[in-house]
Amino acid sequence: MKIPRCSRAALGLSFGVAVCVGAPTAMADDPPRTLRVDYFHTGTATEEVFSLDRVVLEPLAFPGNPARPIDDTNLGKYLFEVRDAGDEVLYSRGFASIYGEWETTGEAREVHRTFHESLRFPRPDEPVTVTLNKRDAKNAFEEIWTVAIDPDDMFVDDSPPAGPEPIAILESGDPATKVDLLLLGDGYTAEECGKFEDDARRLSEALFGVSPFKERRGDFNVWGLCPPAAESGVSRPSTGVHRRSPAGTTYDAFGSERYVLTFDNRAFRDLAALVPYDFVEILVNNETYGGGGIFGLFGTVAVDSDFAEYVFIHEFGHHFAGLADEYYTSSVAYEIPEERTEPWEVNATVLLDPVNLKWQDLVAASTEIPSAWPKEEFETQSRKIQERRRQIRAENRPEAEMSALFREQQEAETVLLGSAPLAGKIGAFEGANYAARGSYRPQIDCIMFSRNQVPFCAVCARGIEQVIDLYAAPDGP
């Protein structure tokens, strides 16, 4: 189906009217198109430098909720603000980035690297200032970069991107009043685009089979894009496989064999600009277990893994609501900081103030803080599983063996965690955010903790609904 270049929703902001692509004039209630600022983010673990790459006028109307231009969720490692000449904030959003993750790795202490990033907002009438803020040691946002943007500058790139025809997966209404999710295929050849549509519909249904997405299905539009790849699959450097896939996704991000990201932000953004989107999940045409998710950037999932539905939902929790990983026994590339700072994520805490726990209103009066669970027994089981997991990967054994190991782990953990006295209860359970000590999660088990076919806990579900409400207008325009 063809997506209109401009929708007919009123924006209600001090952003101006934009001319729709292919239309001779713009109507008074036409919303502005999407302006995108592309920039380079360079540095190490201790220094950061930003430089403007280009300003892009995307072909479609800005899809965001006109009633909620200001982000009040307090989520994200970064926050960008668009300000007019009078210093009034016209638009803001919190987000995370690949750089923000990379700077916590050992490599960032030894070398400089550059990452390409983007900020998107409604095209303004007049010149604006875009300010990028980052959390400081006390978790407060501090300005780190400012750039002046003139929407009428001759160098603003309004050339339309090329790509495939979008596929409507779920249509619920005007993009300005809905959460707009793009499922972007990568590593699918032209002959496999039928498979992509099947994968997209299957994973979409899996997402809307889980609360709170199930109850809020009508607040979402879902689009699919299948840019044809020259070869099937994506890069997996640890096995010597390299592919030039359309979105550039690759396994082994930061040296973690299961971590799948794209470092080609320009290619990813130009493809995504073909549909109205707030969030993107990249569907990777591979069997090997893997995925990734970065808040406000994208999520990824290997569609042919036996655990693809779980990974899709788990990684979408990261990308969509900024939920923290609650597991801590699997190896990761990140280094745990020595100084304990309360995480910005809603589902993790370092419990600096047990009396004022961030999710205290969901804790029963009878539940002790911190809360007891079979931690030692769980860690003993997990260590054995992780040893076997590393051996399977080191020997490059069939993926079916990894899936069998995960099912074995799932069965054992379901019995252990499900029989704990506080199973299903909200408390503060030690072990979260990659740390075995000093970091706590809200519930013994959750989608953000394990593959054990349990739902999002009440804390995670509330965080998800908070973001849905930021993008979806309950009563329409």
Amino acid sitting at position 184: L
Q: Is the pLDDT of residue 477 over 60?
A: no
Q: Is residue 294 included in any domain, yes or no?
A: yes
Domain total of the chain: 3
Are 106 and 175 within one domain?
Answer: no
Are 254 and 364 within one domain?
Answer: no
Are 280 and 408 within one domain?
Answer: no
Are 243 and 172 within one domain?
Answer: yes
Are 180 and 207 within one domain?
Answer: yes
Query: Residue 215 contacts by C-beta under 8 Å, 6 or more apart in sequence?
Result: none
What pTM value is reported for the model?
0.92
**Domain residue limits at 57:** 33-159
Across 150-255, the runs of DSSP E, i.e. the strands, are: 167-170, 179-186, 220-225, 249-250
The rounded mean pLDDT for the chain is 92
Q: Is residue 333 included in any domain, yes or no?
A: no
Q: Is residue 466 included in any domain, yes or no?
A: no
Q: Which of the 8 DSSP states describes residue 74?
A: -
Sole residue written with tokens 């808040």: 295
Q: Is residue 318 included in any domain, yes or no?
A: yes
Q: Is residue 258 included in any domain, yes or no?
A: yes
- Taking only the tens place, the pLDDT of each residue in 49-107 is 999 999 999 999 999 999 999 999 999 999 999 999 999 999 999 999 999 999 999 99
Q: Is residue 264 included in any domain, yes or no?
A: yes
Residue ending a domain, choose from 133, 159, 185: 159
Sole residue written with tokens 């054994």: 397
Q: Is residue 21 included in any domain, yes or no?
A: no
Report the alpha-carbon distance of residue 72 to residue 76 in Å, rounded. 11
Dihedral of CA atoms 206, 212, 218, 220 in degrees, nearest 10, equals: -70
Are 59 and 91 within one domain?
Answer: yes
Longest dimension (CA), the chain: 69
Mean pLDDT in residue range 275-293? 98
- Taking only the tens place, the pLDDT of each residue in 347-370 is 999 998 999 999 999 999 999 999
Listed residue (442, 205, 221) closest to 347, CA to CA: 442
Are 371 and 272 within one domain?
Answer: no
Report the alpha-carbon distance of residue 252 to residue 410 in Å, rounded. 24
Are 306 and 361 within one domain?
Answer: no
Q: Is the pLDDT of residue 475 over 70?
A: no
Mean pLDDT in residue range 7-36? 48
Amino acid sitting at position 183: L
Q: Is residue 252 included in any domain, yes or no?
A: yes
- Check which CATH number belongs to the domain holding 65 and give it: 2.60.40.3250
With cut-offs at 50, 70 and 90, classify the pLDDT of residue 30. confident
Q: Is the peptide bond before 370 cis (omega within 30 degrees of 0)?
A: yes
Are 146 and 209 within one domain?
Answer: no
- Taking only the tens place, the pLDDT of each residue in 117-129 is 999 999 999 999 9
Are 233 and 317 within one domain?
Answer: yes
How many residues does this entry show for the chain?
477
419 class by beta-carbon count within 10 Å (0-12 exposed, 13-18 middle, 19+ buried)? exposed
Q: What are phi and psi of 444, to 5 degrees?
A: -60, -45
Are 130 and 277 within one domain?
Answer: no
466 class by beta-carbon count within 10 Å (0-12 exposed, 13-18 middle, 19+ buried)? middle
Ranges 24-33, 300-309, 462-471: which has the least confidence: 24-33
Are 97 and 143 within one domain?
Answer: yes
- Taking only the tens place, the pLDDT of each residue in 387-442 is 999 999 999 999 999 999 999 999 999 999 999 999 999 999 999 999 999 999 99
Residue ending a domain, choose from 132, 159, 186: 159
- Check which CATH number belongs to the domain holding 309 and give it: 3.40.390.10
